[in-house]
Amino acid sequence: MTRLTEKQLLLLTIGITVLISGGLGLLIWSDFRTIDEEKGKKADLDRQIEAAEREIALRPDREYRVIANREISDREVAFLPEEEEIETFWEVLERFAQDSGVRISEIAPSSIQRSGRDKKGAESTISTVPQVLSLRGTIDEFLRFINMVENYERIINVSEYSVSAGEAPDEDGKHRHGIRLALTTFTYSRKIASTIVSIPKYEEKKEHAEVKKWLSRIKVQEKETYTLPLSIQRRDPFVSVRRRPDSPGGEVEGAPDPEYQGGLIDNIVELVQTLQQGLTFEEELQRRGDLWRLTAQRKENRETYAALSENITTANKEVTIPELRERFKRDVTVPWTAIQKRMEDMRNANPRLGLSQVQEWRDRISKLYDERKWADVESEARGFRDSSKNGQHVDDEAKDLVQIIFEMQRSAKVIDGFDKRKIEITGILYSPRGSSVAVVNAKQMTVGEALDADGTVVVVEIGENYVIFETEGVEIKKEQATQATKK
């Protein structure tokens, strides 16, 4: 074996050194690269953590909003049937048809398909269910039918309809017309989102001020309803008035008309039922403490009560046929007495209004006042008087607010009356020294002069472009050729 020369050994030593240190350098370089990658990953994670923290910071507020939404959800969807309830839709239509007198000859799905998507194509929680009905009935029967449909507790919308006048009366003497009616109802899925988060300490958080704030911001959509007034003698305009010259053309004057008297009772019975339903709803709202809707419902019930009272008095004189008198007593007088007692009980059971509730009334009325909606101020204030037994049934700490509400009601009434007098300022001769003259309703007036003989409207100040009047203790500023404003 040949020995390596010194030079070769030297080269070998250097070579090995370079090889080993090069390998190690490579490893170190690789580690540095890994470190950089790790740092990059960490920076990414930091950014994601920052974004997550932003979301986390919003969680408490979102919890309050979700609680508010969940709490009000049942009220919001009160008039939407759930998907499984839709089967009762047809039963309801059948019942309404029987109650109203129309005859359903066909029910078919509309050409519009059931829809469960919103405008953007996303799956919606509300689906529409359209139906087309073919009916026969008098115009009053049809009107009652669509009124029942539209007033039904679950929403059913009338999309379109057509009426074709019937040619000849049916065997029972009624003129029935051909009617095509398209209806749409809506269903919703109770499942609101794919993930429903459980909120810790839900009951405790429910009482938080933030939840109340969000609740106050959510406007619950009301379903409009309409109470049909009695229209006993209204002619069916779809019945031709053309007659043979020798035909009697109507009933014999003075003879009792069973159909008319029966119709009279039918209409009143329907109104009695409407009022009974309205009172039940009022009791429910009172139990829930939903003062806003309670006021509206109470107002509607009082109107129905007044109309019913008048109609019963009239019908009491007009229903003369003994059999129908008996029916009138059974179906009208007896329930009417029960309704009167029920309303009396409800008045007595009216709860006292707390400070916050009176504040709510005050704020609402004040807003209407600022918007110069005098009739609405009057209506709201009357609602408040009803709810609070004329301001007596409120907590002591709210008494001052009651006075403010009453004062706003009074002022609104005065200003409304003032506005209606059509007082016009056509010219002002202003003098800062106090001898200004205003031309009001073509009459020259100075401060202290009354507009009319009884002295109810007095000029108290004349400005460069306005006049301040005083009437019934309220000062009203009216600008030249503009509307009146309270000073």
Q: Where are any strands of DSSP class E within 317-456? A: 425-429, 437-440, 443-445
By DSSP bridging, strand 466-471 and strand 457-462 are antiparallel
* Contact with other proteins (CB under 8 A) among 82, 83, 170, 222: 222
> What whole-number distance in Å separates Cα of residue 324 and Cα of residue 330?
10
Q: Is 399 helix (H, G, I), strand (E, B) or coil?
A: helix
Beta bridge partners of 438: 428, 445
* Contact with other proteins (CB under 8 A) among 13, 313, 340, 485: 13
Nearest CB to other proteins, comparing residues 198 and 348: 198
Residue list 336-395, contact with other proteins (CB under 8 A): none
* Contact with other proteins (CB under 8 A) among 172, 173, 217, 226: 226
Residue with tokens 């006075």: 403
> What whole-number distance in Å separates Cα of residue 209 and Cα of residue 356?
13
* Contact with other proteins (CB under 8 A) among 110, 151, 277, 316: 151
Least distance between other proteins and beta carbon 18 (Å): 8
Least distance between other proteins and beta carbon 394 (Å): 25
Assess contact for 331 and 354: CB atoms under 8 A. Answer: no
Residue list 283-302, contact with other proteins (CB under 8 A): 296-297, 299-300
Least distance between other proteins and beta carbon 181 (Å): 9
14 binds other proteins (CB under 8 A): yes
Stretch of 101-109, 194-202, 445-453, 461-469 lying at the interface with other proteins (CB under 8 A)? 194-202
DSSP 253-304: TTS--HHHHHHHHHHHHHHHHHHHHHHHHHHHHHHHT-HHHHHHHHHHHHHH
Nearest CB to other proteins, comparing residues 187 and 471: 187
Q: What tokens appear for 327 in the block?
A: 């029916």
Least distance between other proteins and beta carbon 33 (Å): 10
Stretch of 11-19, 260-268, 364-372, 450-458 lying at the interface with other proteins (CB under 8 A)? 11-19
Nearest CB to other proteins, comparing residues 162 and 465: 162
Q: What tokens appear for 109 in the block?
A: 């799905």
20 binds other proteins (CB under 8 A): yes
435 binds other proteins (CB under 8 A): no
**Which helix or strand (DSSP H or E) is residue 77 part of?**
none
Q: Name which of 441, 403, 407 is nearest 424 in CA terms.
A: 441
* Contact with other proteins (CB under 8 A) among 213, 243, 288, 367: 243
Alpha carbon 48 to its chain centroid, in Å, reads 44
Nearest CB to other proteins, comparing residues 52 and 338: 52
Query: Position 344: which residue type?
Result: E
End-to-end CA distance of the chain: 125
* Contact with other proteins (CB under 8 A) among 121, 173, 245, 322: 245
248 binds other proteins (CB under 8 A): no
Residue list 44-63, contact with other proteins (CB under 8 A): 45-46, 48-49, 51-53, 55-56, 58-59, 62-63
Give the count of alpha carbons within 13 A of 315, CB side only. 31
Residue list 306-325, contact with other proteins (CB under 8 A): none
194 binds other proteins (CB under 8 A): yes
80 binds other proteins (CB under 8 A): yes
* Contact with other proteins (CB under 8 A) among 98, 105, 240, 273: 240
Residue list 97-126, contact with other proteins (CB under 8 A): 118, 124-126
**Contact partners, residue 365, CB within 8 Å, separation at least 6:** 377, 380, 381, 384, 405, 408, 409
258 binds other proteins (CB under 8 A): no
Site string for other proteins, 159-188 (x = CB under 8 A): xxxxxxx--------------------x-x
> What whole-number distance in Å separates Cα of residue 300 and Cα of residue 306?
10
**Contact partners, residue 318, CB within 8 Å, separation at least 6:** 261, 264
